Structure 1
Amino acid sequence: MDDFGLEGRKRRLLYRSTHRGCKETDILLGAFAERYLALLDEEELVRYEKIVELDDELLYSYVVGHFLGWGFQMQSPALVIGLLHVTFLVGMSFSGFFDLSIKVPFISAMAAHNVGSFFAGVLSALIGTPCSAPFMVSAVSFALLQPGPRSVAIFQVMGLGMALPYLVISCSPGLTRLLPKPGQWMEYLKQFLAFPMYATSAWLLHVLVSQKGIHVLLPTALSIVVVSSGIWFLRVMSSVKMQASKALVVLLPLFIVGSAVYIDRFRGHDHEYGKLAQVEFSEARLARLLRKGKTVFLAVGAEWCLTCKVNEKVLESAPVQSFLRAHGVTYMKADWTNMDSTIAEYLNERGGGGIPFYELYVKGESVGPMPQIFSEKAILEILSKHLNASPNSKVSAE
């Protein structure tokens, strides 16, 4: 019965460490297991079993220093550029400038097989992920650390929740009577929805400029002009020379990808935090302040995180800033707009899988993470509670 004892578990772990199915993780885990597995005690063995349960990609990313946080895909300027083009084109389609599904048989065939619906879901997930962090990051972070079947079950339940309205209507067709009747209003609604898509494009352009600098604005705008011209040409030629339209359907995505790669090569710039007195995050700087017994409010955010930007307006409002100055609180910001393994590692150590993330240190000691969503009144009350002060405290006139 030794197979069920400590030595049996070690033999199974050795086999699983060297037969992962991915050569890189076979080498990483296999070398460790062959050298140290025999030396592990019961508690260490339990920890190693949890590591072995991790997905290969997550494990490899962690080992090489790439920490994956919520919304991390928005840290890629190339992806931001691609999404900017796609959202702008969707807006043009909603505005009635073109309708590829009608003019190009290739696109029509995709729509007939629900491929278009699939990619619409992919687009929604890519853009919407940063905004859903306060509601879903805990469940997803937990799911990624669970064994395969349990992780899949959690994602299935989340998917079931998203699809629940459609399932309810499918099971009770009579509920369709409560839905609005088709009519001309649908066309007006489609045209109106073009403006949120244009607004999303503008926001993505803002994110891109924050990542790479103002000098990427012109090439990005020119790229959008070229793509728009291609759409116009496709609209004109699709009814005359179908072969030309088919070629353009292939060339336009290639041009968008090429533009993303080209613009991504521009050298970025250091992000400027603004005129308020703020301290840029670094582990050494934070440790130095804590050793001195300072009170520090640390905010981790990014330009592509809309929740972060809303909270930032609250934190940088006059009452909150006056309160922080009056009580000698150092306002430290960690900007995760671009990939930064130091910030990612800090979040990982603090159990924060996503952003926004806030933590208050009072006289060198952490009082725990703050809420991810708050109003001006709420954050003042929280700060007052931990600093034993009145939320109406004002900085004295100097």
Structure 2
Amino acid sequence: MLQQIIPILFLALTTSVVLGQESDTWADVNVSATIEQTKTGEAELVVTAKVFDGLHIYAQSQPKPFLATKIAITDLPDRIESVGEFVADRKPILVQHESLGIELHEFEGTVQWRAPLTIRDELATEVSDPPEVLAGTVFAQACEGDRCFAPTTYSFKADYQTVKSVAASNQNLSDDTASFSLSNLQVTSSQTQSAWSVIPLAFVAGFLLNLMPCVLPVVGLKLLSFVQQANADRKQILLMNLAYTAGLLSVMLILATFAVFAGLGWGEQFSSAGFTVTLSAIVFAFGLSFLGVWEIPLPGFIGAGNGTTKQEGYGGAFSKGILSTLLATPCSGPFLGAALAWAVTQPTYLTYCVFAAVGLGMASPYLVVGLFPSMIRFLPKPGNWMVTFKQLMGFVMLATVVYLISFMPIASVVPTVLLMLGIGMAVWYASQTPGYAPAREQVKAWSIATSMVVVTALVSFGWLQDVMQSRFERAVGRFVASQTTGAALVDAKIQTVSENQSPDHIAWKTYSPELFESLVRDGKPVFIDFTADWCLTCKTNEASAIETDAVAAALRESGTVALRADKTESNPAVDELLRKLGNSAASIPFYAIFPANNPSEPILLDGLFSSGEPFVEALTRKPEQSRISRVSYSVE
């Protein structure tokens, strides 16, 4: 054991010596101090910390377990009676840690703390020669992302005769940049649209939703139902597809109601853990039905029975319409955001019309089949292949559950898995009572099955979730402690610098209004990616267009700071900025580039992208071209 420890300690010591010899290169925080004499007998102590680019330190208000910055006076001149409370020159950046769920109070760049000095009256006008020295320390911990360096005590000295001359740091910035404020930002679209142009656009957007991966599991089931309808008469086929359309439209109208009265944007219901857990449970139960574990008690629902003998019923068609709409909401196809953003700014009846148009567009392929049932002849004839196809769709449903669980809060994952187990046992138990059994026995079986689900849900989210939250918080404490000790700090620091210098790495920062305003006022161009873990279109754009070498190079060469505004959980500050940018529905994906020379006229992009060219073009646009513009739902 000792033989393993000694080399590690030697490596850490050797590296520390090297870093100490190159203090200008590796200094994470530089601390200095001055005394500003405001008038005779009055002065302020100003302590300045310059934080290495890409790092941050925590404010004095930082909650535990992270280490708050502390300023202490170690040597006070005779003429100074006391030092008041240190107050920072700006508010810290409030960041919700993405993986730990803890609020962080961070300072980046340069921060100053000011404290009033009380001068002894009898010495206020005397001049000391040599100057009297005030000394103190700043205890701070520098961090980058999840990795922190060892806490350090930085010393500073200031003499009483020092009078700091303040120069305007923003003298080269435009008035618009220097005085930029989110409260004054309001982007309005120069385009005027009418209902006659937007409603057809919404219809096309709804049709294209059928091609999004969120809806494909239910589309597969609809194809299966079409095969079963091959021998049905024309009237029954039409009524069946009308029932599907009715289920689809019912959810669309509910979403329109949420948009009108609650300001809820497309897909925002996934910000609620309760909604995500509920939908996961429903999709899981459907998946088990398709795999043959139980039979859905709806007349003729595809997935019930053996999949070959029963025709689809109206109840099954209606429920599939509901399910497909719910599954579609994490996806955003071309034209959808533009249509919904317009809709929520219109009178209530027009909002409902646009949402209904989206629903009709989504249902249009099935309505066409209902009107022209001869199209079904192009599909394979019914047979045993339908059982295999249905079971494959069951596995696709289970994969959808995994996707839904992936953006739940960490402490809710294990309780949700336990709930799934309870649901699986409940539906299996209920399926042991055959459908031809007396109604009394069926009611009894389903009552017991429902009780099993309720008890499992209470245990999962009434007890187990608290246990998992407690374990998670303890793990956070251990993680934070592990980042502040050992030779791993040296590796972390070296890795941090290496990543920041990487030409194909985008150094994302978490959006906050304070950070955004601070960057703009400092004259830095800013790129904001509005995203969420539940937004599949956002993730597609990130993989195919944003996280590319070309965009990373454009950000680096233009000096643009990349911010990520996350809506995975409810984030009113992000929604407010989206609406200020003219995105009334607060829909995503959405992107904004704020030029350094004219931040009040950002470049806006939204939609589905297959390459990074629109982003590169916007980032490299010349100053005279940086007028408000919007690339809306471009598919490259």
- The normalised TM-score by structure 1 is 0.69
Structure-1 residue corresponding to 2:537: 307
User: Is the 8 Å Cα contact of residues 529 and 591 (structure 2) preserved in structure 1?
Assistant: yes
CA RMSD of aligned residues (A): 3.5
Specify which of 68, 80, 83 is matched with residue 276 of structure 2.
Answer: 80
Distance in 1 between residues matched to 2:559 and 2:529, nearest whole Å: 16
Query: Are 1:362 and 1:387, in contact at CA under 8 Å, matched by a contact in 2?
Result: no
Tell me, in whole angstroms, the C-alpha distance in 2 between the residues paired with 1:71 and 1:328: 33
Give the Å deviation of 1:284: 2.0
- Please give the secondary structure, in 2, of the residue aligned with 1:183: coil
User: Residue 295 in 1 paired to residue 525 in 2?
Assistant: yes
How far apart are residue 204 of structure 1 and its match? 0.8
Report if aligned partners of 2:422, 2:453 keep a CA contact under 8 Å in 1: no
Please list, as runs of the form range in 1=range in 2, the aligned pairs for 1:1-398 lying within 5 A after superposition. Answer: 61=262, 67-101=263-297, 114-132=314-332, 134-208=334-408, 212-213=409-410, 215-238=411-434, 241-251=441-451, 254=454, 258=458, 262=462, 277-313=507-543, 314-352=545-583, 353=585, 354-364=587-597, 365=599, 366-379=601-614, 381-383=616-618, 385-386=620-621
Q: Give the deviation of 1:112 after TM superposition.
A: 8.9
Which letter maps to 1:329? Answer: T
**Alpha-carbon deviations, 1:235-288, whole Å to 9, x = none?**
224477434323135435645765786478776999xxx985222111221112
Name stretches of at least 5 consecutive residues in structure 1 with no aligned partner: 1-54, 62-66, 389-398
Q: Which amino acid aligns with 1:307?
A: T
Q: 1:383 to 1:148 in 2, by over 3 A?
A: closer
Aligned AA (1:373): L
User: 1:117, 1:237 → 2: CA distance?
Assistant: 25
- Pick closer, same or farther for the CA change 1:157–1:128 going to 2, 3 Å: closer
Q: Which moved more, 1:139-148 or 1:286-295?
A: 139-148
Query: Relative to 1, partners in 2 of residues 1:196 and 1:294: Cα closer, same or farther, differing over 3 Å?
Result: same
TM-score by length of 2: 0.45
Q: Give the deviation of 1:121 after TM superposition.
A: 2.1
Question: Using the alignment, how far apart are the partners of 2:299 and 2:434 within structure 1?
Answer: 6
3-state secondary structure, aligned to 2:569: coil
Secondary structure of the corresponding residue to residue 373 of structure 1: coil
Q: What are structure 2's unaligned runs of at least 5 residues? A: 1-255, 305-310, 477-495, 500-505, 624-636
Distance 1:115 1:102 in 2: 6
CA distance in 2, matches of 1:169, 1:112: 15
1:376/1:171 CA distance change after superposition, 3 Å: closer
C-alpha distance in 2, partners of 1:167/1:317? 41
1:64-104 CA deviation, whole Å, 9 max, x = no partner? xxx42221100000111111111122111111222233899
SS of aligned partner of 1:130: coil
State the Cα distance separating 1:58 from its structure 2 match. Answer: 5.4
Pairs aligned (count): 318
Report which of the two has the higher share of helix: 1
Mapped to 2, the partners of 1:343 and 1:190 lie a distance apart of 41
Q: Which has the higher strand share?
A: 2
- Give the secondary-structure state (helix, strand or coil) at the position aligned to 1:342: helix
Answer yes or no: is the 8 Å Cα contact 1:78–1:264 preserved in 2: no
Per the alignment, do residues 188 and 302 of structure 1 end up closer, same or farther by CA in structure 2, a change over 3 Å counting? same
TM-aligned CA distance change 1:77 to 1:133, over 3 Å: farther
- Following the alignment from structure 1 to structure 2, what is the Cα–Cα distance between the partners of residues 58 and 371? 20
**Secondary structure of the structure 2 residue equivalent to 1:370:** strand
Residue identity opposite 1:141 in structure 2: A
**Alpha-carbon distance change, 261 to 139 in structure 1, aligned in 2, over 3 angstroms:** farther
Distance apart, 1:381 and its partner CA:
3.7
Secondary structure of the residue aligned to 2:329 is helix
Whole-angstrom distance in 1 between the partners of 2:336 and 2:298: 37
The Cα shift of 1:348 comes to 1.1
Cα separation, partners in 2 of 1:139 and 1:72, compared to 1, 3 Å: same
The one-letter code of the counterpart of 2:275 is L
Query: Partners in 2 of 1:71 and 1:95 — Cα distance?
Result: 28
> Post-superposition shift, 1:384?
5.2
Q: Which residue of 2 aligns with 1:32?
A: none
Return closer, same or farther for 1:136/1:260 CA change in 2, 3 Å cut-off: farther
- Of structures 1 and 2, the larger Rg is shown by 2
Shift of 1:203: 0.8
Once the two structures are superposed, what CA deviation does each residue of 1:98-117 show, in whole Å capped at 9, x if it has no partner?
2233899xx99xx9973443
SS in 1 for 2:563: strand
| C-alpha contact (below 8 Å) 1:77/1:260 kept by paired residues | no
Matched position secondary structure for 2:432: helix
Percent of pairs with identical residues: 29
Which stretch of structure 1 is more off in the superposition, 221-230 or 309-318? 309-318
Shift of 1:357: 0.9
Please report how far the alpha carbon of residue 377 of structure 1 lies from its aligned counterpart in structure 2 after TM superposition.
4.0
SS at match of 1:303: coil
Aligned partners of 2:298 and 2:352: how far apart in 1? 38
